[in-house]
Amino acid sequence: MRTKKKFIHVNQHVIRANKKHGTNDPVITIKQGSKNTYCHAVEIKGPSKVIYGGNDKPLLACGARVVIETEADVIQVFQFPHETLLQTSTAWTDQDTIQGYDDKQKFEHDMIKVMLEEKGMGLAANQIGITKRFFAIGHSSFDTFKNHAIIWNPQVISFSEEKIIDVEGCLSFKDIFIKVERPKTIEVQYETTQGKTRFAKLDGMESKCFQHELDHLDGITFNKRVSKLRWQMANKG
């Protein structure tokens, strides 16, 4: 999440490079002061305006002539190795708030919307720049989380000894998929947006997704769960 004035633009150089090399690097830049962040999608949570600077002078030092200017909060999915992806998140408490939101339910709606637009099954808080322990999860094939939801302060109570190796992707690593070994079944505890404590037993893909997102909250990205050689092979595409 960000406040203060931001300038959002599309990088034509990256678009051309993606087309030429068959890559899928982020083409959207969000500039705030001297800091740039890059993403594939961004949701603006308030007033904004589109500005065209004309042919005489670019609006930004990078050469952008058309930008979206806003002081509103934005939700964006950060790409590896953004700093928040490498940080350990702290527990959510009743005293915590989310900037730009008066209630958790509205934020839950918006975060899930971003996850679905990105075609994800899970989205952790630090992937959108918030180092607190919660993530969005949900898919029609799931049992416990068939209906999409944010779960708060999630934890694994027990793991099965049986392991599975399955392919995983990640919204912070576009178009990279790799086989990761994880416990097949887990028992978990979490809090709902309404503040209720829940327990569940998860299996298969639902278990894998929960563990993947929980890793994010501990600053662990899925490339850390495989050998260096396997990661290099996957990253070459």
Which residue has tokens 């637009």? 117
Contacts of 109 (CB under 8 A, 6+ apart): none
Listing DSSP states for the chain in one string gives ---S-EEEEE-HHHHHHHHHHT-----EEEEETTEEEEES-EEE-S-EEEEE-TTTS-SSTT--SEEEEE-S-EEE-PPTT-GGGGSPPBPP-TT---TT-SSHHHHHHHHHHHHHHTT-SEEEGGGGT--BSEEEE--TT-STTSS-EEEEEEEEEEE-S-EEEEEEEETTEEEEEEEEEEESEEEEEEE-TTS-EEEEEEEHHHHHHHHHHHHHHTT--GGGGS-HHHHHHHHT-
Residue of 108, 168, 206, 213 marked active site? 213
- Has 43 been annotated as catalytic? no
Q: Which residues are catalytic?
A: 213
